[in-house]
Amino acid sequence: MNYVDPTGHFFEELFGLAGSLFGEKGRKTGSDWGKKLDDALGLNGGSTAPTEKKKTGNSVVDSNQRSAKNRGKAYATREDAVYYMNEMLKAAAAEADYKREFGAFVYEFEGEFYISSIIQGEIDSVTNESVTAEVTNLGLLVDRNINQAVDFSHTHIHYDEYANKTHTAVSRKGYKIEKTHISDRDADIIDNGRMGSVPIRTFTALIPQGAPSYGSSTDNIRWKTETHRRKK
């Protein structure tokens, strides 16, 4: 079957059609199940329905959850949006005592710039999957793809191996970034120019320095910002 509904409601239409063989009630039941599947897979052409998210206990994260219906503050320039995004990420990391990574991205919508939800990552990573999920949550998909590159930032944990020293990060394809605090995984993203299916314009690491090991005092943390443009 090569049919693709131009409205994007693929399974809603498909299951509704199949259910109609059992009458109107069957059609409605099939459509309802199909819509749920479309929403889950991001196949709804950019749904504006907000995704339910569990509270994390981090006040910065929980108070900065966005959706297509609630994009938050609009910024006139990309630079302003990136600045305030980075400040929020630092605040979220400080609340977590710098022991967990946080991420977010700046995107353009109708000529203005917005900050995505603050994403609470795994202990030492913000995953490609979580960024893709946020793009879907914000209704930025057009024909199942995002049509712009975003400015992505994330914090590192304070006891990261390279928080207080530099090294040469090497992507899986052999792309090298010398004298850097970022990881090989970060170099992979810069080399590929995307996080999963989401193109990046810039990739920033916010590195808390001054606490050399796990369990050491974080009273004297200072931030180092390292920004890279995606590899051309």
* Structure token pair of residue 77: 């320039």
Answer for the pair 113, 107: CB distance below 8 angstroms, yes or no.
Answer: yes
β-bridge mates for residue 107, sequence order: 114
User: What is the model's pLDDT at position 7?
Assistant: 36
Which H helix or E strand runs over 206?
Answer: strand 198-209
Over residues 57-80, the pLDDT tens digits come to 899 999 999 999 999 999 999 999
Dmax over CA atoms of the chain, in Å, equals 69
Answer for the pair 190, 203: CB distance below 8 angstroms, yes or no.
Answer: yes
Judged against a pLDDT cut of 70, whether residue 225 lies above it is answered with yes
Q: Three-state DSSP class for 228?
A: strand
| Mean of pLDDT over the chain | 84
The DSSP secondary structure of 119-157, one letter per residue, reads EE--SS---HHHHHHHHHHTT-EETTEE-S-EEEEEE--
Q: What is the pTM of this model?
A: 0.76
* Structure token pair of residue 129: 């999957």
